[in-house]
Structure 1
Amino acid sequence: MGVITKISVQQKRIDRYNIEVDGSYAFSADEAVLIEFELKKGRVLTEADIEVITVRDGVYRGVNTAIQFLSLRMRSKKEVLDYLKKKEIEPGAWDEIMERLETMGYLNDEQFADAYIKTQIQTTEKGPKLILRELKEKGIDDHAASLLIEQFTEEDQVEKAAALFEKQLKKFKRDSAFLQQKKAEQYIMTKGYSADIVKKAATAAEPDEEAELEALMHQAERAHRRYRSFEEREYRQKMKAALYRKGFDLTDIDRVIDRLLEEQRGDE
């Protein structure tokens, strides 16, 4: 038990006050808490009083802290609770803070998940599996998320995956069409699309025969520099093995090898 001997405004927060009990700093409180508990000089406080006041102050601080956090963008309940923990808000105040935020309309996981899915569809390359995984990490119920993700239609998924597929093919244009497709498919899978969607996206891409020949020539010239000093029979074996491993057609490989050997003979 003690007596409040001084109440002073904090230098950096004029809405918060430092409370001294029996001449020593005891705790700080929001202005609203000061009014609610009628804290003033000469007021006698027990340890239980201080504990109740501290929890109540935690509620005020927590609500204000959370609202500032939510002012930047929508958040899930889990994100807000994690933020309160990070800001060292008293654990005893968490439930009331979350309840107040819900009552005030700041927290609604279903609305958050719906908005999050729409934003991801419109602004990112992510597929439904990746979006669902991120929602799970944010504490959204699996069943609710699964229902909401249905707005990401198969048609939209195929369209986005096909665009990704074309972009990846260009990125690996020095590889054979076979390797290009495999690498593109693997990448799209990591973005959260199903195998069925990836297959449909790959089917939508038209093969580029000219690009395939250009890639074959690029790889063949590199291999040629390594094996050109070999006897022709061994040269052909090594060239075929090297280019076949990269996914090129054997008929095309033979044609390119003949061309390179002919050019080499002309240079000799």
Structure 2
Amino acid sequence: MSELHSAHNQLEHCITAVKVDRKNNKEYILFVEHIEEPIVVHEDMFIKYRLMKGECLTSSLIAEIIEVNGKYMAYIKAIRYLGTKARSSRQIADYLKRHEFNEEHISHALERLQSDGYVNDEQYAIAFVQSKTRIQGKGRVRIAQDLKNRGISQNAIDMALLQLDEEDEFEAACREAMKKLRNLSGEDREIRRKLQLFLLRKGYTSGLIRKVMHFVENERKSNIDE
């Protein structure tokens, strides 16, 4: 049995044709003897293994090429995905799954991305907290949920939120409240209710909302006095 297996691995398959993929000129399509489906490889693998027409390969070498190429393609795909903005490990894994990479290739790509410094969920969480607070005016409750949805660990979320300055969050909440206030009308009680619900949906804690409401009331009184 082992002799048959060894003989199969040593069986040579010659490349009968090579084409550049029209959809991606960084990939090559190989047509190989005794293999029904063509093999698609990245140009770096094409060069590394010298996969020219007429080249003959053993079954074991073909299996190696397919495996190495799969891991490399997953890594390259992830790098391109990261080109637009930072992503969490979960987001990258989900993206690669949608493009039909297997679990082993995804895991290998993530390990290499982390080793190369392209992916760091702790740093991602810190940057995410600062951005969502200052730019989008979100509160820590909403931010924590958004990070959880992106696969960030609870420990990383907690550490990132520890670096969120309470004064910065208060100022962001006040800005959002005053902006929303301009679009509200009706009786004071109804306005306060709507504003509190708005801040709650934004993800601010009840304690911070009370402080913001006090600030808003003072601002409204000042405007009336003027």
TM-score class, shorter-chain normalisation, is: 0.7 to 0.9
After superposition, where does 1:98-117 map in structure 2 within 5 Å? 98-117=110-129
- Report Cα offsets for 1:71-95 as digits up to 9, x if no partner: 1111111111111111122333122
Match among 9, 13, 28 for residue 3 of structure 1:
13
Is contact 2:21–2:27 with CA below 8 Å preserved after alignment?
Answer: no
After superposition, where does 1:102-141 map in structure 2 within 5 Å? 102-141=114-153
Are residue 184 (structure 1) and residue 195 (structure 2) matched?
yes
The residue number in structure 2 matching 1:45 is 58
The residue number in structure 1 matching 2:213 is 202
Change (3 A) 1:206 1:22: closer
Is contact 1:6–1:20 with CA below 8 Å preserved after alignment?
Answer: yes
- Report Cα offsets for 1:55-109 as digits up to 9, x if no partner: 2111121111111111111111111111111112233312221121112211111
The residue number in structure 1 matching 2:165 is 153
After TM superposition, the score normalised by the length of structure 1 is: 0.70
Distance 1:189 1:122 in 2: 17
Are residue 82 (structure 1) and residue 126 (structure 2) matched?
no
Distance 1:60 1:7 in 2: 23
Are residue 27 (structure 1) and residue 39 (structure 2) matched?
yes
Q: Gaps spanning 5+ residues in structure 2: where?
A: 1-10
> Residue 38 of structure 2 aligns to a residue in which SS?
strand
Match among 96, 100, 105 for residue 93 of structure 1:
105
| Residue 136 of structure 1, CA deviation | 0.7
Identity of aligned residues (%): 25
After superposition, where does 1:212-251 map in structure 2 within 5 Å? none
> Residue 196 of structure 1 aligns to a residue in which SS?
helix
- Report Cα offsets for 1:169-193 as digits up to 9, x if no partner: 33222x1111111110011001000
Is contact 1:63–1:97 with CA below 8 Å preserved after alignment?
Answer: yes
Is contact 1:16–1:31 with CA below 8 Å preserved after alignment?
Answer: yes
Distance 1:189 1:91 in 2: 39
For CA contacts below 8 A with separation 6 or more, give which structure has more relative contact order.
Answer: 2
Distance 1:31 1:66 in 2: 17
> Residue 18 of structure 1 aligns to a residue in which SS?
strand
Give the partner amino acid of 1:176: E
| Residue 121 of structure 1, CA deviation | 1.9
Larger Rg, first or second structure (1 or 2):
1
Distance 1:203 1:36 in 2: 67
Distance 1:133 1:154 in 2: 18
Is contact 1:55–1:90 with CA below 8 Å preserved after alignment?
Answer: no
Distance 1:118 1:176 in 2: 35
Are residue 172 (structure 1) and residue 184 (structure 2) matched?
yes
Change (3 A) 1:165 1:14: closer
The residue number in structure 2 matching 1:225 is none
